Structure 1
Amino acid sequence: MSGMMYFVPTPVGNLEDMTFRAVRILKEVDYILCEDTRTSGILLKHYEIAKPLKSYHLHNEHQATQKIIDDLKKGQNIAIITDAGTPGISDPGYLLAKAIADENLEMQCLPGATAFVPALVVSGLPNNEFLFAGFLPQKKGRQTKLKQLAAEKRTVILYESPHKINTTLEQIKEFFGDETQVSLSREISKKFEETKRGSISDVIAFSKTKTLKGEIVLVVNNVGNKELVEVNPTKNKYKNIEN
């Protein structure tokens, strides 16, 4: 029989956000794939998990995937974790999942931490329908992508790094318009967790007055281009309100 591949989410900040099942699985598998063995080592040591670690990241996943497939076919059980969050969500993991699916082998993804869900919930923006777009293209295709997202009628979720956040906010204002509502969340689940909500101009002003650290989640609602959604408290159902 072939082995099982486990995609195991890890905390985006607070180490206590591991599930009991995730800890158990990591203790039971034959080895663990890590985006960065040094970063993952901190988490694994905290939970007294002592298993062989192998690097699996964006720069070696094409070469490493076939060996993993071979090990699964031999009956080994393997887990993959990344530095933070769920493997495959803006992190290594997709190519591996596709290869396993193509080979019709067994895999499971455990429920767990991912940064955009808490950011969306606390944004206060419509979350009945949303588009997770991850990181914008660095250069080629960036403006085209922004134009596409500006036409979206759903709430848009983006990831961004601290050194690009001001540029991205300015571009959101340019492409989405002045009426755009934005929620910026950073340091999710950590000591200095912070969320700033308001118009795109308000969030730009906030960002320029601070030195932001850590991965940032932007939740963007282009109210000038869509229907607003509110909850009917008496029937607990959504109804559409025209602008």
Structure 2
Amino acid sequence: MRVQQTFKNNKPTIYLVGTPIGNLDDMPPRALKVLEEVDFIFCEDTRTTSILLSKFEIKNNLISLHMHNEFQRVVEVNKLLESGKNIAIVSDAGAPIISDPGATFLNELKKQDLEFNISSVNVGPAYIHAIVASGFISKQNLFYGFIESKNEVSKKNELLNIVKKYNDENIIAFYESVHRIKSTIKILNELLNHDQQVVVAREITKLNEEYISGNISEVNEFIQSDQFIEKGEFVIVLDKYQVQSLELSSEQIANKVKALVDDGYKTKQACEFVANESTFSKNEIYKIYLDFFK
């Protein structure tokens, strides 16, 4: 598991920098400052990036990073990070990683036994910053917004619907408040396979920027601990859809349905909810429930 407090350590950093999609004057000051100060810039096309840098009178070392050499660049960047160098990654236009090179490269680099930061700059809203910095590989991503449910059972149903509705080719991102982050991660730990990869980000681009990444079991353990800082608003990013199918006894199934019914759910809804968690069908669960409680 990785816990990254980006601006509170001296580790080398990979900056994922967004560039203008058309008008070069859209380039903001902080992004320019990063491109000026890093030791190397890895870019999709050195010719395109040269035009951008030339406009703002920035001189730096440009190295190509495209879909055909991402694995090759891992070794090279590994050595740069080991020597304490900071690098930036840019695409020709827009946010790197999002339908552009970089995800495979970052994913492989995170497997190396190295300590470094990954931080995104000028890539739009908070959820895009988190997706870009996650290093998850996917051509598709879904932004859900804030989790709406406050009641634990309702929230569990909402989260289950999110991960069940979308296929395993989607990265799923959503927001959560400081008051509910612990319960939400706890529920995800119950729903997802324990090796499901998750990133929880807070205070993105601010002094207290923090990224917590690992499998859901590790992340849940950390977030429920005293080490976790409950401040700011959070982005949760799920790598892909992996709902846990639990092996439940008939008695456990009946009791789960009864608990939901007692909480106000209709029997049909309760059976459907439990079916999503188990290897039994909705009709089988309904019959089991009737055998125990009718």
Q: Which bin holds the TM-score, normalised by the shorter protein?
A: 0.3 to 0.5
Structure with more strand by fraction = 1
TM-score, L = length of structure 2: 0.38
TM-score, L = length of structure 1: 0.45
Structure with more helix by fraction = 2
